[in-house]
A and B are shown apart, each in its own frame.
Chain A
Amino acid sequence: MNTFLLLFSVLSAITLATAFLTIFTKNPIHSAIYLVICFSSITGHYLLLNAQFLGIVNFIVYTGAIMVLFLFTLMLMNLNKEDEVHKPRVTRLAAVVLFCVMCLVLLAIFINSKPIVGDYDSIGEDYQSTKVLGRVLLNEYMLPFEYVSILLLVAMIGVVLLSKKEKSGK
């Protein structure tokens, strides 16, 4: 077993274990912490694939911004206690069965499928450095890039409007 495969296995184990723990932990704060670890290991996967820009962006956006948002919301609602009641047993059993069946079916499909391109020959040209990515983003994808900025602006205004306290006289 070579070094990269070993690294990949360790990272995958961390990703899957923390993803499971996110769901099974009772305390929502602990769930958020496990989710941070899960996203950090996904950043590790990106860096392993040599996608430096996306690795850093994933780290900043997910483990930075989104997790702070989650933690702030949890503390705003004062939910850091473990009094959540479970779903009914039938529903939980159905969820477990559906998880197993979905995993089985999708894995069976992908194990039996053959890739179109057989080997991984590299053409030796740079395709995923920040320089190349920025060139593609600001030439071919200029319009979607601007639309994304409008989307973020609209989301920001919507959040401010939604979370504003309503006047009691209404």
Chain B
Amino acid sequence: MNNILNQIGIENYIFLCVILFCIGVFGVLYRRNAIIVFMSIEIMLNAVNLLFVAFSTYHQDAQGQVFVFFSMAVAAAEVAVGLAILVSIFRSIGSIDIDNLKNLKG
């Protein structure tokens, strides 16, 4: 039976996911807009999910894909709660610039 990894190779997937994850980290550090920071976190989650699926194909086991399914559900819940928190921050402060959120600083 023909496996797709014969043509591509697992290394290429690992390199792609590493670079994608690093882009996500970079976005978290680089931007001040809290929504863009959230988007960067989504990019990181997607990089890990893609690597899970690649290794699920590599080991020919369905459990990796089941785990990705759960991680997507958790990501959806996380985004919904996070955006609701951002909306309420925006209502009380008037901006979502993460460098302005210094109320807890002593």
Q: Which of A's residues lie within 8 Å of B, judged by CB?
A: 2-5, 8, 12, 15-16, 19-20, 22-23, 28, 31-32, 35, 38-39, 42, 45-46, 48-51, 53-54, 57-58, 61-62, 65-66, 69-70, 73-74, 76-77, 79, 84-87, 91-92, 94-96, 98-99, 102-103, 106-107, 110-111, 115, 117, 120-125, 127-128, 132-133, 136-137, 140-141, 144, 148, 151-152, 154-156, 158-159, 162-163, 165
Contacts and interface: CB of A to CB of B under 8 A. Distances in A.
A48 B25 CA distance: 26
B101 interface: no
B43 A84 contact: no
Interface string B17-50: 0111111111101111101101110110010011
A79 B35 contact: yes
6 contacts: A16-B23, A23-B27, A57-B69, A128-B62, A133-B66, A158-B84
Interface string B88-106: 1011000011010000000
Give the secondary structure class of B's interface: helix
Contacts of A38: 43, 46
B86 A73 contact: yes
Contacts of A102: 22, 25
B62 to A, nearest CB: 5
A162 B15 CA distance: 39
A162 B84 CA distance: 6
Nearest to A16: B19
A141 B68 CA distance: 13
Given A91-B29, A110-B11, A159 B72 contact: no
Contacts of B14: 110
Given A38-B43, A151-B77, A8 B69 contact: no
B23 A86 contact: no
Contact of B16 (A16, A46, A57, A132): A16
A128 B36 CA distance: 34
B27 A79 contact: no
Contacts of A91: 29
Given A19-B43, A54-B69, A136 B63 contact: yes
